[in-house]
Amino acid sequence: MSVAAGTIDRRAPAEASRAGERRRRFTLALAGFLGLLLVLAVAEIMIDGSAGRSALIPKAPSISKWLGAIGEPLGYRVFLIALLTFTGAYAALAVMARQLPSRFVIALIAALHLIVFIGPILLSTDVFSYIAYARMGVVHGINPYIHGPIAIKYDPVFPYQGQSWLKTATAYGPLYTLLSYPLAPLGVVGALWGFKLEALLASAATLVLTWRVAARRGLNPTPALLLVGANPLYIIYGLAGAHNDVIMTAFLMGAVALALSGRDSWSGASVIAGTLVKATSAAMLPFMIVGRRRVGTITGALAALLAGALVGYVAFGIHGLDIVAALNRDAAFVSSDSFPTELAHLIGKPGVYPVDHTFLKAALAVVLVYLLWRTWRGYDWIAASGWALLAIAVTASWLLAWYTLWALPLAVVVRDRRLLIATLAVQGLFIIHQAAPLIAPVQ
């Protein structure tokens, strides 16, 4: 407040207030523009993805043909431009996230979810494997933990299977397989919508829990919500592929929320439920036990494990419980997007060899032991869980975009910002690695 000749100048605060208002309006206008870019980018992918045959769209029954009427088949160039536009706008929104109204962020995320929900399945045949495993059990009476989809080669879902997975038995937990069973009798298209709805609801649960945990920990929940719910890999790869990783993150965030509200038994049980969807979730349990030091966590986890094992055994026999074997099998796969493959190329090797897997497992074990020690010494167990999940993704020789999502909801609810920066950096590198067809198209 300025004082001149004994009188109070009331213009200065008024001007400051006007400047503040102008800045607020500019921020809102910019955010609106960036939000529009996100919506347009994902809409472009979905419209072109519905328009016909594309290498980026798995062979699928037509569920969104009406959308494709105004588009043309999705090519790498358009997809990558849309992905990079989305990523750039997301990064800019993330920077200004603290100043954004929560209603704007919720509306934006809802719009993105709606567009993805009505669009085609993107970039992966996994959802058709989920349907095949469900139909194997329900329609054909075949154990999906023993046989791959090749066992139902005359089923209507068979033509949509990924060629690499025809002989592969399910690697998912018995809880997920049982959750998918009610969708099997709906036919391929009905089941596809069912899995899309399942992913949508799981995403909504993940986001609500992320909001609540962030608020409970005294963090601004709006940026946390934005960083997860408008994340390019979360929307375009995870949700648009109806991947069960979103269900896994819902259970993990449920476990965190329950732990913070003192319901330790349920919290431990929730981690096990996540593990019975996708085994990677188990990585959270040791940190929860060491960080919380509550008997309830262990008893809850044990009770859930016992119940899950019993149900799994009754439903699928001993094979339904052998998640470790499935993990070991998957750990031996190699994808061109994985960091171990990139590192192998960097040092002049053609790819990852079996001996490298031993080295990678050892490196991961060292990281996990160190994180446990840090948690024992007082480090935030939620952050440690996030680091563990990120380390699993980075050391995996089989890395898919949705694996980089495991740590994300945890990263936005911890005060150690390094986890969020590291998670987003890993995602950024993944996206950069996709850009080759944009620089040098093959045609």
- Measure CA of the first residue to CA of the last residue in the chain; give whole Å: 67
Nearer to other proteins (CB atom), residue 7 or residue 443: 443
The two three-digit tokens of residue 218, written as one number: 């005294």
Q: Which of 151, 242, 394, 405 binds other proteins (CB under 8 A)?
A: 394
Of 118, 342, 356, 398, the one binding other proteins by CB under 8 A: 342
Return the residue of 37, 188, 255, 259 that touches other proteins, per CB under 8 A.
259
How far, in Å, CA of 49 to CA of 236, rounded? Answer: 12
CB 188 within 8 A of CB 157: yes
Q: Which residue, 11 or 377, is less far from other proteins as judged by CB?
A: 377
Q: Which of 4, 15, 403, 437 is nearest to 241 (CA)?
A: 403
Asked if 265 is part of the footprint of other proteins (rule: CB under 8 A), the reply reads no
382 belongs to the binding site for other proteins (CB under 8 A): yes
CB under 8 A: which stretch of 131-139, 143-151, 187-195, 340-348 binds other proteins?
Answer: 340-348
Indicate which single residue of 8, 107, 110, 436 sits in contact with other proteins (rule: CB under 8 A).
436
Region from 109-117, 135-143, 297-305, 410-418 binding other proteins, contact rule CB under 8 A: 410-418
How far, in Å, are 16, 271, 357, 390, 412 from residue 283 at the CA level? 51, 9, 19, 10, 18
Q: Which stretch binds other proteins (CB under 8 A): 19-27, 81-89, 182-190, 371-379?
A: 371-379
CB 312 within 8 A of CB 321: yes
Instruction: Tell me how far CA of residue 60 lies from CA of 56, 158, 164, 195, 439, in angstroms.
Output: 12, 11, 16, 14, 29
Rounded to the nearest 5 degrees, what angle is found at the Cα of 331, between the Cα atoms of 327 and 335?
Answer: 135
Q: Does 2 bind other proteins (CB under 8 A)?
A: no
202 binds other proteins (CB under 8 A): no
How many of the chain's residues bind other proteins (CB under 8 A)? 42
CA 218 – CA 41 distance, rounded (Å): 33
Binding window for other proteins (CB under 8 A); candidates: 150-158, 181-189, 317-325, 435-443: 435-443
Structure-token pair, residue 353: 């060899």
Query: Per rule CB under 8 A, is residue 369 in the interface with other proteins?
Result: no
Smallest distance, Å, CB 275 to other proteins? Answer: 21
Which of the stretches 88-96, 116-124, 154-162, 210-218 binds other proteins when contact is defined by CB under 8 A?
Answer: 210-218
Segment interacting with other proteins (CB under 8 A) among 4-12, 58-66, 142-150, 342-350: 342-350
Q: Which of 277-286 are b and which e, b meaning 16 or more Cβ less than 10 Å from the residue's Cβ?
A: bbbbbbbbbb
Q: By the criterion CB under 8 A, which residues form the site for other proteins?
A: 216-218, 259-260, 291-293, 339, 341-343, 345-346, 350, 374-375, 377-383, 394, 414-415, 418, 422, 425-426, 429, 432-433, 435-437, 439-443
